[in-house]
Structure 1
Amino acid sequence: MESQAVSFRVARDDLAHAVAWVARSLPSKVTQPVLRAMIITADDNGLEFAGFDYEVSTRVRIAAEIAESGRIAVAGKLIAEIVNTLPNKPVDLQVDGSKALVSCGSSRFELPLIPLDDYPQIPQLPEVTGTIDARLFSEAVTQVAAAAGKDDTLPMLTGVHMEINGPNVELAATDRFRLALRTLEWDPASPDVSAKLLIPAKTLLDNARTLDTGIQDPVEIAVGTGDQIGREGLFGVHTDNRETTARMLDADFPNIQPLLPKTHTSMATVEIAPLQEAIRRVSLVTERNAQIRMQFTEGEVILSAGGTDSGHAEERLPCAFSGRDELIIAFNPGYLKDGLAVVNTNRVVFGFTEPSRPAILIPEPEELPEADADGTFPTPDTYFTYLLMPVRLPG
C-alpha cells in the first residue's frame, strides 16, 4: 500500500491553474468511479497532479513546500471547484486517516480519499518526435479541427490527420461536408522522420486551447522516434510543466487530395468581418439553418435567405469578383461561418468551379493569380484551405 501521509503547502494560484487543467480532461460520467480521481503526488520535486480515463492522460507539476511525501487521490472536479473559490492565500493540504484536509485562510474542507488499488497505470510520454512553436500549433489545430466530424459512428472523420515528412507537417480534417487543410513547418528530432497519425480532434483542440500563448519554449510532440513512431498508439504533447497523452484513432483517414480543385472558373475576395455580420443577420430567416444564397457579380455579392414561412432577408456587400459569368451558390450558414472564423486574414478568397461543386476559402495572398489562356484561375499557393460543399439550390 502506498504512503498516504501527504502534507504540503502551495500557492493558491499555482494550485488553481494545475487542478483546473487536469480536471478539464476528467470524465463527468464514468463507468468506473475511480476514474473521477485526480492523483496528487508529493515528492522532492514538488507536486504532480494527474488524471487518466483510458483515453486521455494529463500531468502537471508545480513547486510547493513538501512536509511529507506520498501519493493520494481525491475527486478531481470537486477539488478544482473548491480551489477556484479559495482566497488568494497559501493552501495547506494534509492527510488525516481516510480524508484530505484542505485549509486556506479561514476556509476548511474535508475530502474523502479515493483508494488507488484499482487505478489504471498512467501512460508515460513517448519519445519526443519534434517541436513546434506554441502559437503556431494552437492556430493550426484550431483552423483544422473546425472541419472535423462529431459522429462517433464514423471514427475516421472525428480525428485530425497529421502527416509528417521531415520538417513539413500537414494537418487535415473532414466531416464529408467540409474539409480543412493546413501546412506548416516544425523542428523534427530526426530530419527524415515520416509518419501518418490520426488524433481525436476534440482532445487535440482542448490541448491547443489550454496552451498558454505566452509560452516561450516550443511545444514537444511525442509519438516516438525511428521505427517506433506511432507504435504505442499514443499522441503526446509536452509543454512547460504540463504533459498529456491521447489514444490515437485506429482508423483510415480518407484520401482528400482528389477533392481539392486545381483550377477555378471564378474567384472572389470579400472582407471577412462585414461578411460574418451579414451572414449572421441574413441567416435569421433561414428555415432550420437550411441555406444562405450568395450571388457574385463584378464589385458586389448579394446574400439572401428565406422561405415561404420565415420571411426573406437580403444584404449587399462590396467584393472583387473575376469570372466569366455571375455566380449563384448556396451554403449551410453554420459551416460558412465556421470557415470564415478560422481564415486569419482581413479578407477571404473564394474559389469556385460550378454552383454544384465544392468551393474553397483561403486567406488572401499577397498576389492573386491571373486567369490562364482558357479563362481559368489556378489555385493560389496557400498554407490553409477550407473546402465547403454547397447546398443544392431549389428549382
Structure 2
Amino acid sequence: MKIRLERDVMADAVSWVARTLPNRPAVPILAGLMVRAEGDTVTMSGSDNETTGHITLTAQVDEPGQALVSGKLLADIAKSLPDKPVEITADASRMELVCGSARFTLQGLPVEEYPALPEMPGTTGTVAADVFAKAVAQVVVAAGRDELLPVFTGVRVEIDGDTLSLLATDRYRMALKEITWQPAATDLEATALVPAKVLNETARSMTAGDSVTVNLSSGATGDGLVGFEGHGTAGSRRMTTRLLDGEFPKVRHLMDIKATRSVRVRTDELMAAVRRVSLVAERNTSLRMEINEDDIALSAATGDQAQASEAIQALVTDHVDGDPSILAAGFNPHYLTDALGALDTPFVDFSFTAPGKPCLVMGLDSLEGEPEVDYRHVIMLMRLPN
C-alpha cells in the first residue's frame, strides 16, 4: 500500500476512528486501526466489539492495499506531524509514515486475525445534522453515568412517522426532545436504546454535512445495531453500535405536569445566579428557590462556614385558587445548571405542583408566550430542611 494524504485530513480521521478503540482491549487485535486503500479512496476503521467507527477519505492512492497498526499510537503520531503532506507505505509487517523530514515506522498487526466488522443496517431515515446534534446535546445531560445500571446510560430513540423523539433519565431527572425528520417510510414505528456516550460523540462529529442518516436494525433490542452516517468535507463517517438491553422505565407521563404554580425568569440571569450561589452549596445539599410574588430568592450554605443568596425578578402565576401549595423548592444545583444550559431560549418556565413532586422546565421565547413543548426537562425536587 502506498498513499498520500493531507496532514490535517489524516490526523482528524485517525483521531475520530481511534475513539472507538478500547483502552484495555480484551482481545489485543482490537487495539488495531485498519487502513485500506483502493481506487482513489482510503478507508480507516476501528472497533471495541460494541462500537465501530468507519471513515472514507479521498486520497492519492499509488498502490492499493491494507494494513493494521496500533490505533492509539497512530493517532498520537498523526497529530504531532508537521503541517505537510503525509506519505504512507505499508506491507504485511510494517507501516512507514513520512511527513517532511519526520519519519515513523510502526510494526504491523496480523490483518487476517482482525474480526469482521458489522454491516451497516438499512436506512431508517434522515435528519438535519445540526438539528440532530442540538437535540442529542439537550437530552444526554439527563442520562445516567452509572455503568452498573446500564439501562439508564442510554437514550431511548422513538420513531413515529416523521417524528423522532429522544428520551433520557437517570431517575432524578428526565429530558425529552421531539424533532421532525424524514423517515424511509411514512408509517414507520420503532424504538431503540442507544448508549448516550456514543450517541453524543457521534452527533457532535457529524455536523460537517447537511444531514445524518439513521440506520436501525430490525433485530431484537439486545442483539440489534444502530448506525449513523454523515458526509462532509472531511470524508464520509459511519458509526455503528450495539443497542442496550433491558426495559427503559416508563417516564413519559412525568412530562405531562399540570402546574399549580409557575415561575418565569430570564434564562441567562438565573443561570448566572445559580452558579454564584451554588459555590457555597455543601455536597449533596439543595439549592433553595423561594418563590415570592414577583421574584425568586436563591440561597445555599455550607453549615456556618459560608452562605449565599440572590434574588431575581420573576413572573409568578398561581393556577389554582387559595394559598399556593409550594412556597419554596429544593434543587440539585448541578441538575438545575444542566437543565438551564440545555435550553436555547431567552426565558425559562418552571411548572410546580406540590412540595417534593417533579418540576417541569421548558423554554420560552417571551415572558408572556407559550412554552416550547418540543423540549421538556423534568427535575425531581429535593427535600428541604424544616
Instruction: Give the TM-score of the pair, scaled to structure 1.
Output: 0.91
| 1:287 shift after superposition | 1.2
**Helix, strand or coil at the partner of 2:112:** coil
Equivalent residues of 2:6, 2:86 under 8 A apart: yes
| Residue identity opposite 2:245 in structure 1 | D
**Helix, strand or coil at the partner of 1:383:** strand
1:276-291 equivalence runs, <5 A: 276-291=271-286
Matched, 1:49 2:44: yes
Matched, 1:65 2:60: yes
The CA RMSD measured in Å over matched residues stands at: 1.9
Q: 1:230–1:43: structure 2 CA closer, same or farther, 3 Å change rule? A: farther
Match of 1:91 in 2: 86
Distance 1:24 1:96 in 2: 25
Match of 2:347 in 1: 347
Equivalent residues of 1:141, 1:208 under 8 A apart: yes
| 1:310 shift after superposition | 3.1
Matched, 1:118 2:120: no
Distance 1:262 1:291 in 2: 22
1:236-315 equivalence runs, <5 A: 236-240=227-231, 241-315=236-310
Equivalent residues of 1:56, 1:247 under 8 A apart: yes
Structure 2: unaligned runs, 5 residues or longer:
none
Match of 2:144 in 1: 149
Distance 2:193 2:328 in 1: 36
Which of 182, 192, 198 in structure 2 is aligned with 1:197? 192
**Helix, strand or coil at the partner of 1:190:** coil
Match of 2:162 in 1: 167
% same residue:
37
Q: 1:26–1:97: structure 2 CA closer, same or farther, 3 Å change rule? A: closer
Distance 2:340 2:313 in 1: 17
Q: 1:381–1:96: structure 2 CA closer, same or farther, 3 Å change rule? A: closer
Distance 1:39 1:128 in 2: 25
Structure 1: unaligned runs, 5 residues or longer:
1-5, 370-378
**Helix, strand or coil at the partner of 2:354:** coil
**Helix, strand or coil at the partner of 2:76:** helix
Distance 1:361 1:32 in 2: 45
Match of 1:77 in 2: 72
| 1:380 shift after superposition | 4.8
**Helix, strand or coil at the partner of 2:19:** helix
Distance 1:267 1:351 in 2: 5
Match of 2:214 in 1: 221
Distance 1:228 1:25 in 2: 23
Moved over 3 A (4+): 227-232, 365-369
| 1:222 shift after superposition | 0.5
Equivalent residues of 2:193, 2:221 under 8 A apart: no
Distance 1:102 1:22 in 2: 18
**Helix, strand or coil at the partner of 1:276:** helix
Match of 1:207 in 2: 202
**Helix, strand or coil at the partner of 2:88:** strand
**What is the number of equivalent residue pairs in this alignment?**
377
**Helix, strand or coil at the partner of 1:144:** helix
Equivalent residues of 2:222, 2:245 under 8 A apart: no
Matched, 1:332 2:326: no
**Helix, strand or coil at the partner of 1:117:** helix
